[in-house]
Amino acid sequence: ETGVTQSPTHLIKTRGQQVTLRCSSQSGHNTVSWYQQALGQGPQFIFQYYREEENGRGNFPPRFSGLQFPNYSSELNVNALELDDSALYLCASSFSSHNEQFFGPGTRLTVL
């Protein structure tokens, strides 16, 4: 059974640029959730995708957007990057929106 994978591992961008992060869900899972974890804090929920539809969103601006593909993999896109977007971005997959979530290793984004 393949676990949750994320790419890239690390990324450095400059303010104003756009970034795309990728996540492959665990085999058999149809739900993907994205989280942002700033240094020294717990992960904060960005949004969740279930069967290719966004079915929940946290307190993040519209420049944070996402996609889920038919194979249930997912992308997180962030436009007009700001310095405060520097964080660890975590992806989690689950069998449905209410089940146990399993996390990938994360993508560490630095915005200069």
Instruction: Give the x/- contact pattern for other proteins in 54-93, rule: CB under 8 A.
Output: -xx-x-----------------------------x-x-x-
- Which residue do the tokens 């450095």 mark? 12
Of 84 and 98, CB closest to other proteins: 98
Measured CA to CA in angstroms, residue 38 lies from 43, 45, 98 at distances of: 7, 12, 25
Minimum distance, C-beta of residue 90 to other proteins, in the bound complex (Å): 7
Residue among 33, 68, 74, 93 that touches other proteins (CB under 8 A): 33
Q: Is 11 in the site for other proteins (CB under 8 A)?
A: no
Q: Is 42 in the site for other proteins (CB under 8 A)?
A: yes
> Please, is 109 exposed, middle or buried when counting C-beta atoms within 10 Å of its C-beta (0-12, 13-18, 19+)?
buried
Q: Give the distance from CA 40 to its chain's centroid.
A: 19
